[in-house]
Amino acid sequence: MVKAVQEGVSDYLTKPFSAEALGQKVTKALGKKLKGAAPAQNANPFAGSADVLTGGKRPTAEPPAAKTPGPFADSAQLLTGGKQVEAPAKQKPVSNKMLAQLRTSNLALPAVVKAIALTEVKLVVPSGKGFPTILEPAVVDLEIEEGKVERLNGYVHALQATERHAQSAFVSIIVRFVDEDPQKLESLSRLIARL
């Protein structure tokens, strides 16, 4: 310790040390700078997070006020550019067993439809046959009516194991549709209305 002090060390901690002892040493080392920067009691510790991320510059357009302001409200407005983010479409759960096929450039997976909306479908596929990747283009072949199959173009939005362990037998896949074909949307609307 004497040699360390002679070399210019201003303070030290001996092992083992507590978080409180470390905090006291840091406060002592930074002195007035840290005390001046400390937030007022009961202040929101994330209030200036957007200023830190943007260097104090704010977007030119006034972002809409958040409905329930929270500690990350400024950050959310920064990330979205002040635009309202469209809420995900409400999926309609499918109670009876509806079969589909998920196709990508190198996979063709049998699937069961668990929920569906005009903008996306939630499928469950067996896990042993490989998986598509996130954002990979995909086609969902879905029987809209008796004998009529609609090919809905989209991309893989999410993958999730259906069980809480690595050997999950099934995987849940959400495919977001990109088709803007009015005929396909009408067929899909009729299917959802029948569910």
User: What residues contact 186, with CB distance under 8 A and at least 6 apart?
Assistant: none
Average pLDDT over residues 101-119: 90
Distances (CA, A) of 186 to 43, 70, 86, 144, 177: 52, 40, 21, 10, 14
Residue 121's CATH number: 2.40.10.220
Across 54-68, 69-83, 120-134, which has the greatest mean pLDDT?
Answer: 120-134
> pLDDT value at position 31?
66
- Range of 20-29, 96-105, 140-149 with top mean pLDDT: 96-105
pLDDT at 157: 94
- Same structural domain, 21 and 65: yes
pLDDT at 102: 93
Query: What's the total number of domains in the chain?
Result: 2
Domain shared by 153 and 62, yes or no = no
Q: What is the mean pLDDT of residues 125-150?
A: 86
CB 123, CB 172: distance < 8 Å: yes
For residues 90-110, average pLDDT: 81
Instruction: Check whether residue 12 and residue 63 sit in a common domain.
Output: yes
- 70 shares its domain with 21: yes
pTM of the model: 0.53
Q: Are 133 and 76 members of one domain?
A: no
Domain end point (choices 55, 80, 105):
80
Q: Do 187 and 118 belong together in one domain? A: yes
Cα–Cα distance, 11 to 21 (Å, whole number)? 12
Domain housing 33: 2-80
Q: How confident is the model at residue 150 (pLDDT cuts 50, 70, 90)?
A: confident
Single out the residue of 116, 122, 131 nearest to residue 174, CA to CA.
122
